[in-house]
Structure 1
Amino acid sequence: MTLELQSVGRQINAKWIVHDLSFSVKQDECLVLVGPSGCGKSSTLRLIAGLDRCQQGTIKFGNRDVTHLPPSERAVGMVFQSYALLPHLTVYENLELGLRIRGVRIEERSRRIQHILDLVQLADRANHRPSALSGGQRQRVALARALLRNAMVYLLDEPMSNLDAQLREQIRPELRRLILDQGKPTVYVTHDQNEALAMANKIAIINNGEIVQLDTPIHLYNNPNSLFVAQFLGRPQINCLKPRDHQIQAIRPEDLKFSESGLPCRLVSREWLGNTQLLYLESAEGGLRMVAEPSFQCPERLFVTWQQSKVFRFDAKTGLRTS
């Protein structure tokens, strides 16, 4: 089954918050939506779920047009930033509640809950209340509840935003495995670029309610179609040289190299990041960021160079890629 959006849009106060959005997500695929705050990522999830009204275009689950169906008829599983677990119920009872409301027989409820608890590795926490769980465990309970929905489509809105960086790194591979095991189209929203690159089969970069580029993570990083995409994807952020001949040249920090001759630079400051250090340089081309080995002793004055094949060129007026 494929999730498909065709020219989908929604207006609020005569302003398009989602405009002419088109993409498809196959089973076993995870499409990650990224973009600046307020660009329309969460609004897109709400349109897919039926929580907001679609004012143009169509939304299809396979061959079924769900554009104007209420949420209750779409069979969507959602996980939000807030896990919304009922604090007075145990993990098992939180998972059971939705099944009981839908009239699932007790034997079937027990079988499905035990299976999903094994899947998220929380069988030994079934009788614990949410307050006794770690943040990562609560996240897995919320995910398990969504997976129990036996949904046609899964929508995850920053499900790990409340977790610390170390816990996110631990959970990411497990969460991706759970998504793939379900074999259903998944749309995932995050502000964390590392999370996006790790989770996605495809990434859609959104700005002002429109998709500016959609591709695989590696192709997006290596072949941005605009200066906006090049600057948005990648940390440290790409370096932009002074415009020449109506073009902006850009080079990623990891592609700058030390040399005995080249562009003269002055070291302004540095950040030691453990396995690397980030150097902030001043040059005739403007401020530059450069990645170096952690043990490198950078002099105050130095020269840097780069391969021309690593340079991106963008139109200075439109920001679109020229070469």
Structure 2
Amino acid sequence: MTLELDSVGRQINSNWIVRNLTFSVKQDECLVLVGPSGCGKSSTLRLIAGLDECQHGRIKIENRDVTTSKPSDRAVGMVFQSYALLPHLTIYENLELGLRIRGVRSEQRSRRIQHILDVVQLADRANHQPAALSGGQRQRVALARALLRDAKVYLLDEPMSNLDAQLREQIRPELRKLILNQEKPTVYVTHDQSEALAIANKIAILNQGIIEQLDTPINLYQNPSSLFVAQFLGRPQINCLKPRQNQILAIRPEHLKISDLGLPCRLIAREWLGNTQLLYLESAEGELRMVVDPSFICPERVFVQWDQSKVFYFDVATGLRTS
């Protein structure tokens, strides 16, 4: 079972919302879409779901062309950012509603709902209304409802954006397990890098409606194809040195080291981050960020070096990787 997009695009007047999107997601994969606001992440999900018209290219689910199919004919399960739970119904009734509309018999509805509530660990909340649940629990109900759809493809649009950082971190492993256990192609949208790295098999980084790069999380981080990708993925952000010979040199903060010789720097600020310490250094190459041990006491003036093999080179004009 595979989801395939081939040269998919949509535009409003002369403005492209997404352009030339080409990728495939297998049944055991979760592709995470990341990028700045307005880059086309949620629009891509809406095109796959059939909520917006696909004006260019083709969308296939299980080798069936669904480009012009109605949303109800695509067998897509979608989880929205807002949960979209009916407040006057219990959790059980919220889950049952879709099954009832699709004509699933009572005993089958009961069995499937009980199973999915066990999976999301909410069996003891079945008779509660949404208002009585925490944000994390409501998110799991929304996910359970999508999984009950018995869809061929699952689409998740910022499903944890309404949760605080601590709760998102707690839920991530459980959510990844739930997604992968379905063994269906899944496309997941988030603005949170940590969330993307924790959940994805593959990540697509979007910029102004196009895919800058699509690869595994580790390959994106270690081998960015453009300066945009290098700067977008990774916190603290990558250091960019002054351009030379029409190239921008970039080095990640964890690859800098204090030395007896090297680039003279002056300490201008520091941030203690618990298990690491982030130093802000002023140099002739511009401001640098450097990650060091939390116990390190940095003098005001230091020399910094780096392993030349860890440096990325990008073309000044195009931003594309040159070596």
Which residue in the other structure is 1:116 paired with? 116
Aligned counterpart, 1:68: 68
Q: Which amino acid aligns with 1:261?
A: L
**Cα displacement string for residues 271-297 of structure 1 (whole angstroms, at most 9, x for unaligned residues):** 111111111110000000111111111
Q: Where do residues 248-287 of structure 1 align in structure 2 (5 Å cutoff)?
A: 248-287=248-287
2-structure distance, mates of 1:316, 1:125:
56
Secondary structure in structure 2 of the residue aligned to 1:298: coil
Corresponding residue for 2:131? Answer: 131
- Report the counterpart of residue 179 of structure 1 in structure 2: 179
Alpha-carbon separation, structure 2, partners of 1:275 and 1:166:
17
Cα deviation, residue 134, structure 1? 1.0
Please tell me the residue identity of whatever aligns with 2:213.
Answer: Q
The whole-number CA distance in structure 1 between the counterparts of 2:265 and 2:80 is 46
Query: Which letter does structure 1 place at the counterpart of 2:174?
Result: E
**Separation (CA, whole Å) in 1 of partners of 2:263 and 2:62:** 55
Shift of 1:261: 1.1
Per the normalisation by structure 2, the TM-score is 0.99
Q: Secondary structure at the match of 1:322?
A: coil
- The answer for the alignment partner of 1:81 in structure 2 is 81
Q: Which residue of 1 aligns with 2:193?
A: 193
Aligned partner of 1:156 in structure 2 is: 156
RMSD over aligned Cα atoms: 0.6
Identical aligned residues as a percent: 83
1:102 offset after TM fit, Å?
A: 1.2
How far apart in 1 are the matches of 2:63 and 2:44?
Answer: 20
SS in 1 for 2:288: strand
Which amino acid counterpart does residue 297 of structure 1 have in structure 2? I
- Equivalent residue for 2:36? 36
Per-residue deviation, residues 247-273 of structure 1 (Å, max 9, x unmatched):
110000011101111111001111111
Structure 2, unaligned runs of 5 or more: none
CA distance in 1, matches of 2:34, 2:248: 24
Which secondary structure does the structure 2 equivalent of 1:320 belong to? coil
* TM superposition score normalised by structure 1: 0.99
- The amino acid that maps onto 2:116 is I
* Matched residues, number: 323
Unaligned ranges ≥5, structure 1? none
Q: Could you say what secondary structure the match of 1:237 adopts? A: coil
> How many angstroms apart in 1 are the aligned matches of 2:200 and 2:261?
41
Report the Cα offset of residue 28 of structure 1.
1.1
